[in-house]
Structure 1
Amino acid sequence: MSSAFITCAVTGSGDTVGKSDKVPFTPEAIANDCIAAAKAGAAVVHIHVRDPITGAPSREVEYYAEVVDRVRSSNVDPVINLTAGMGGDVTFGSVERPLPLAEEGTDMVGATERLDHVRKILPEICTIDCGSMNFGEGDYVMTNTPSVLAEMARQVQELGVRPEIEVFDTGHLWQAKSLVEQGLIADPVMVQLCMGIPWGAPADLNTFMAMVNNIPESWTFSAFSIGRKQLEYVALAAIAGGNVRVGLEDNLYLDRGQLATNQDLVERAVAILSGMNIDIMNADDVREKMQLTRHG
Structure 2
Amino acid sequence: MRDVILTCALTGNITRPEMTPYLPITPEQIAISALEAEAAGAAIVHIHVRHDDGRPSMELAHYTEVVERIRNAGSQLILNLTTGPGGRFVPDADDPRIAAPGTTLLPPLERVGHIPALRPEIATLDLNTMNSGDQVVMNTPRNVRVMADAILDAGAKPEIEIFNPGDLVLARELLADGRFGPKPMFSFVLGINYGWPASIEAIQLGLAMLPPGAIWSAFGVSRSSFPMVAAATLMGGHVRVGFEDNIYLEKGALARSNAELCAKAARIVRDLGARVATPWVAREMLGLGMPGTSA
Q: TM-score, length-normalised on structure 2?
A: 0.95
- Where does residue 99 of structure 2 map in the other structure? 101
Deviation at 1:205, TM superposition (A): 2.3
Letter in 2 for 1:113: E
Matched residues in 2 for 1:191 and 1:142: separation? 19
- Where does residue 16 of structure 2 map in the other structure? 16
- Identical-pair percentage: 36
Deviation at 1:221, TM superposition (A): 0.2
Matched residues in 1 for 2:286 and 2:202: separation? 26
Deviation at 1:75, TM superposition (A): 4.0
1:81-101 superposed Cα distances (whole Å, 9 cap, x missing partner): 00011111111111x322421
1:64 aligns with 2:63: yes
Letter in 1 for 2:251: R
Matched residues in 2 for 1:293 and 1:84: separation? 21
1:126 to 119, 123, 126: 123
Letter in 2 for 1:266: C
- Where does residue 76 of structure 2 map in the other structure? 77
Matched residues in 2 for 1:2 and 1:183: separation? 27
Where 1:270 maps in the other structure, the secondary structure is: helix
RMSD between aligned residues: 1.3
Q: Within 5 Å, which residues of 2 pair with 1:27-46? A: 27-46=27-46
1:214 to 189, 209, 215: 209
Where 2:128 maps in the other structure, the secondary structure is: coil
Where 2:14 maps in the other structure, the secondary structure is: coil
- Where does residue 263 of structure 2 map in the other structure? 267
Q: TM-score, length-normalised on structure 1?
A: 0.95
Matched residues in 2 for 1:26 and 1:180: separation? 36
Q: Which runs of 4+ in 1 moved over 6 A?
A: none
Matched residues in 1 for 2:157 and 2:201: separation? 30
- Where does residue 86 of structure 1 map in the other structure? 85
- Where does residue 289 of structure 2 map in the other structure? 293
Contact 1:161 1:293 in 2 (8 A): no
2:174 to 179, 183, 188: 179
Contact 1:131 1:175 in 2 (8 A): no
1:257 to 252, 260, 267: 252
1:114-148 superposed Cα distances (whole Å, 9 cap, x missing partner): 1111111000000000121112x22x111100000
Deviation at 1:184, TM superposition (A): 3.8
Deviation at 1:76, TM superposition (A): 2.5
Letter in 2 for 1:238: T
Matched residues in 1 for 2:96 and 2:179: separation? 34
1:28-80 superposed Cα distances (whole Å, 9 cap, x missing partner): 1111111100111000000000111x211110011000001111111432000
1:147 aligns with 2:147: no
Q: Within 5 Å, which residues of 2 pair with 1:241-252? A: 241-252=236-247
Deviation at 1:174, TM superposition (A): 1.2
Contact 2:34 2:70 in 1 (8 A): yes
Count of matched residue positions in the alignment of Structure 1 and Structure 2: 291
Letter in 1 for 2:246: N
Where 2:19 maps in the other structure, the secondary structure is: coil
